[in-house]
Amino acid sequence: MNNMDVSKRIAQFFTIFFQPMLIPIYGVLLLIDSGYLYLYTAIGQWLVLGIAIFFSVFVPAVSAVILYKMGIVTSPQIAKREERFYPYLISVISLGMLAYVYTILQVPQFLLYLVYGLLVSVVSVFFVNMWWKISAHMSGIGGLLGGVLTTTYYFKENAMWLYIALFIISGMVAFSRLKLKAHSLGQLFAGFLVGLVCVGGVPLFLFL
């Protein structure tokens, strides 16, 4: 296996494991691991996670397969910008439902605000994508970093090693998308900024 094969495999790994629909799951897992959802029993915490999995992973994934079977998109990966309208619209609606269910369950306010930030981020990507192929992968990882920064600020904690780890992962995701020729550098940077600002900024604004 030559160096090109290795780098491409690494790029595919980061593309798969840090695709946008998985990012909310990583975020909830971090909240559970950090103890920020301490008000919930173990069953309650896993219920919060399960609901996030259903709306952020199951619904978009099944919808992508259905759209592919119907011929609306040419591949389940939905690589073409022109084909992303319906998948993004479904994601927006699904995340809106996630926020609604979390509201009914009266989850902690900071978690609900993070979902609002995620929803604003996805809506922004949805509209920008109509004219320009902004990176949803980078929006997702930027949102995860923004969410971590906001959450630790809210709880007045310092998670420097986690910040560094997420910056490194962000760089690897950007490298991966460039390696696979999925985006330009500008599209990657724009996506990262949208996620970082929306998921990091919306909760802070709502807390003011």
Q: What is the pLDDT of residue 41?
A: 80
C-alpha closest to that of 73 among 85, 62, 61: 85
Residue 23 near residue 115, CB atoms below 8 Å? no
**Residues 34-49 pLDDT 10s:** 888 876 788 889 999 9
Digit-coded pLDDT (tens) for 61-119 = 999 999 999 989 888 778 788 889 999 999 999 999 999 999 999 999 999 999 999 99
CA distance 86 to 97: 16
Question: What gap in Å lies between CA 50 and CA 71, rounded to an integer?
Answer: 30
User: What's the pLDDT tens digit per position in 47-76?
Assistant: 999 999 999 999 999 999 999 999 898 887
The pLDDT assigned to 175 comes to 95
Whole-number average pLDDT of the chain: 92
Beta carbons within 8 Å of 129's beta carbon, 6+ residues apart: 81, 84, 85, 88, 136
User: Which pair of tokens denotes residue 52?
Assistant: 């996030």
Global pTM?
Answer: 0.93
Retrieve residue 101's tokens: 């269910």
pLDDT range class, residue 153, cuts 50, 70, 90: very high
**Identity of the residue numbered 53:** I
Q: Is 71 left (phi over 0), alpha (psi -120 to 50) or beta?
A: left
Give me 149's structure tokens. Answer: 């920064």
Alpha-carbon dihedral sign for residues 61, 67, 69, 72: negative
